[in-house]
Chain A
Amino acid sequence: MKFNVIEDENAAAVGNALIKVMSLFFIGIMIIAFTANPISVGTNEGQRAPDVEGKFYNGSGWTEFDFSGYFNTSWQEGDVSGQWVVIEFMDTDCPYCQQSAEEFGQFANTFSVNNPEWNGAHVNFLASATELDIQGHDSDRAEIEKFRSDYNHNFPYIDDIDQDNMKEWGIPGTPNYFLIQPDGIIAWSSSEHKDEKVSDAIVRLVPRESA
């Protein structure tokens, strides 16, 4: 039996170079894989919360909001001194948001270090107020201020009338709640736990002194 072997002298140059470069590439990737554990940014539980931008109202005026200032990336699980964050994406004209507003205000007072009956980590409450694309849902900053005042809320309201934050977070409708750990990782989201209230999630997930 005869074999016709086709020899390509130039193939060796390409093959050798390819092996060297691919080895180098995979060594680089493996070094990264073994020494880093990247966490993606997103709105699912376990992901790093995206940024929230815009002006916020705290009762005295509208100033630039600094979302990253709420987080400490070196926080360790179980550390009670770390402050958690609950953010609500809402629309002042949304009936469900209006219905839950009073209760949401009570939660903010309950899960605070100022409440002697709460022995857990402090939970900061935030509201990102948007304007849904629904007829009759026109909103403005005055309406946001009035809404906050009507329900005696004492936490910051972020102006998201342009829907930038809502789009960034992929919010399908309002109200939508997220509980975020002190290191900025999403611990709970209402869209993943439709049968659980945000208050129950706080009780279940936020560490307490006696726990």
Chain B
Amino acid sequence: MSSNALVGVYLLPTLIGFLIVSPWGSSFTSSLVDRFPSLKTARGQLLSGLQLISLAGFAVSTQTLWISSKISEGGSFCSSTSTFSCDDLLGNSELNVDPVLGLSWGLIGMAAFALLLFIVLVLKQEHNHPLSERFVSMGLLTTGIGILIIGLLVSYEFQEEKICLYCTTAHIANIAAFVGFFRLRRLHENRDEWNK
């Protein structure tokens, strides 16, 4: 399987999750309610979509960290002369780490999506947890900061004139999670809807 085709394994659940958390999610999930009862409510729908997005985001971030590590060994994973060459970005020792602490972007992505997953799992188990409002805000803030970071990383892609599909999938997951947490926050403000 080509390295660029492998992205589909991560992109597909991300896009399904994005669809579920989008305003059109209920029409998409209506046929699945019998099989997945948690999709009956708007809260259950949003949390299920966010869980799928967070898992896919975590997995693709792990894959990018793995690719960076393999490239530093001297190997190549998705090197290409075309625009879609993630090796040029993930293998660039200056661009594949954050400019402040020097941590790999892949590791930061893993930590961020793990945090989102933690929030989602807590809310799924106990939606009226005393810290539920804070958890939702934390998710929204994390993904909001993620959008700023995406801006920086996309500027690197313009600079190098290359596109890293694995990174792009992680970016889509972050944007999808932002939409999901935004809608979750709106829902949390409406107590009747939230407690359905």
Chain A residues with CB under 8 Å of chain B are: 9-10, 12-14, 16-18, 20-22, 24-25, 28-29, 31-32, 35-41, 48, 50, 73-74, 183-184
Contacts and interface: CB of A to CB of B under 8 A. Distances in A.
A24 B72 contact: no
Contact of B122 (A14, A22, A50): A14
Contacts of A36: 66, 69-70, 73
B129 A14 contact: yes
A31 B67 CA distance: 12
- Mostly, the B contact residues are helix
A17 B118 contact: yes
Interface residues of B, number: 27
Contacts of B130: 10
B121 A17 contact: yes
A12 B118 CA distance: 13
B121 A41 contact: no
B72 A38 contact: yes
B177 to A, nearest CB: 15
A18 B118 contact: yes
B72 A39 contact: yes
Contacts of B68: 38
B129 A25 contact: no
A31 B66 contact: yes
Contacts of A37: 69, 73
A21 B72 contact: no
